[in-house]
A and B are shown apart, each in its own frame.
Chain A
Amino acid sequence: MQRVLTIALTFMLLVVASPLLHQLGLSFYAPDFGLIAVLYVAAATPLTSGMLVVFIIGLLKDAFALGSPIGLYTHIAVVVFLLARGLSGRMNIRSLVTAILVTFFASIVSSVLFLGLSAVFDRTFDSFDVILRMMLPQAMVTAPFAPILFALFDKADRVVSRKGSRTTLFR
């Protein structure tokens, strides 16, 4: 149930963010809510179920992303999930500062993966300069939202499981 809720929340965020940011003229510097959801799943969910959740989240991102081939964001989500999972075994990535930092670097990694995968698999891709130019701004825009969304997902998890999490978010 918690996994379903995480997917549903991410889906809602993508539904809201995509047209809203487009209307506000911020689609170029839109925060990557899907990436933050993947990081949250990596920190809060076991490997196997987490893999399924991020796979679905990746597919949803692919569905909302215009112009990129399907599977691109799914693969990026899986890779980021695996990297974040490896990192979460060594440090708490859900505290305020680490959440921002990890999200920042995860966004950079995501952009690099996007660039690499597009170069390999997308025959029509020719926007290398755009991705390189957008990499840092994208990470800077996304990172501040990580603690907020982590808190949101955490709250939703606690509501569903009806038990107070002993893990405090901002340690």
Chain B
Amino acid sequence: MIRLLKRYRATVAVFLGFSTPLFILYIHGKDQTETSILERTLAKTTAPFQNMMNDGIHFVQGVWGDYISLVGVQTENERLRERVNTLEGQAIENRRLRLENERLVELCEFRRTHSELNAVAAHVVSKDHSPYYRVVRIALDVGSEDDISEGMPVITHRGVVGRIARVTDRFADVMLSVDPRSRIDVEIAARGVSGTLEGRGDSNIYGARFFFLHRGGAIQEHDVVVTSGHDRVFPPGLVVGYVARDEERQTGVYYEYDVVPAVNFATLEEVLVVRSTRPRPPDFDRLP
């Protein structure tokens, strides 16, 4: 039998190879209600490898997808960063405009309440800084073309800034009230004391000293120092600064107090240059 099989093994192989699949096909071609052993065996053989391959493909897809996503994220990130920069710029501009608006409103209100002042508004176009980042000189965008001349007071709604020191056609330099060359006749009305305010010219702080001859009432810290108008330069009643300390010094015949200016020179943007002062009509209501 074995010899016979060996002799006709090719024929047997062809017969079996041809007929077996047909038999399997016949069995599995029927409407099956359950999975056959052969199907289960084949599924068990191939499924793990297919799963492995699917996992591998999904892994590669995931990595690739993430990479593409990251490229997208990076592009979006750059776009959003630009957008944030733009919006931040707009926010800063809006804030600047809001502050400018607030300052201008206050300045207009000041002009309305000081109708006796013939003043022209001006923008600060440059500021000279000291090595300690203090403003020591400012330049305005008004000049002789605007009837500005040297010595004219420069003020804001907060108080005295200084006076015009130099004028060109369209620009003017301002000598600040804290400049050592600056002299302003002032008074502390509440104490009945009048004297002169002189800039200290300190390198690291804004400061001035108020000196006077005759003592009046006791001067206190934070007392308001206002212009007296005696120098015929500054209109009377403008705030110049505040007494820094109730610490009196005596230099020769003069008594002296430190004064801090009312105006923050570092943040100055708009000022008024007083060209002339009209006499204020007497306020009869305030007469006794």
Contact = CB atoms under 8 A, between A and B. Distances in A.
19 contacts: A14-B46, A15-B46, A15-B53, A19-B53, A20-B53, A23-B61, A47-B13, A52-B13, A54-B17, A63-B42, A63-B46, A71-B20, A71-B21, A71-B27, A75-B22, A78-B17, A79-B18, A121-B29, A123-B30
Interface in B10-36: 10, 13-14, 16-18, 20-31, 36
A121 B53 contact: no
Interface in B188-245: none
A52 to B, nearest CB: 7
Interface of B is mostly: helix
Interface of A: 11, 14-16, 18-20, 23, 47-48, 51-52, 54-55, 58-60, 62-64, 69-72, 74-75, 77-79, 81-82, 117, 120-124
B54 A71 contact: no
B263 to A, nearest CB: 74
A58 B21 contact: yes
Nearest to A14: B46
B18 to A, nearest CB: 6
A23 B61 CA distance: 9
B3 to A, nearest CB: 16
B35 to A, nearest CB: 10
B9 interface: yes
Q: 6 nearest interchain CB pairs?
A: A71-B24, A71-B25, A121-B29, A75-B21, A63-B42, A74-B21
Contact of A48 (B10, B22, B49): B10
Given A71-B22, A75-B22, A16 B28 contact: no
B43 A63 contact: yes
A38 B14 CA distance: 15
Contacts of B14: 47, 51, 82
Contacts of A120: 29
A54 B14 CA distance: 11
A15 B50 contact: yes
Given A23-B57, A71-B27, A72-B21, 20 more contacts: A11-B49, A15-B49, A15-B53, A18-B53, A19-B50, A48-B9, A48-B10, A51-B16, A51-B17, A52-B17, A54-B17, A60-B42, A60-B46, A63-B46, A64-B50, A69-B29, A71-B26, A121-B26, A122-B29, A124-B31
B251 interface: no
A47 B17 CA distance: 11
Contacts of A15: 46, 49-50, 52-53
B24 A20 contact: no
B45 interface: yes
A11 B49 CA distance: 9
Contacts of A72: 21, 25
Nearest to B24: A71
A94 B206 CA distance: 100
Contacts of A51: 13-14, 16-17
Residue from A11, A15, A52 whose CB has the most chain B CB atoms within 10 Å: A15
B39 interface: yes
Given A48-B9, A70-B39, A70-B42, A55 B29 contact: no
Contacts of A123: 29-31
B4 interface: no
A7 to B, nearest CB: 12
Contacts of B25: 69-72, 74-75, 117, 121
B10 A47 contact: yes
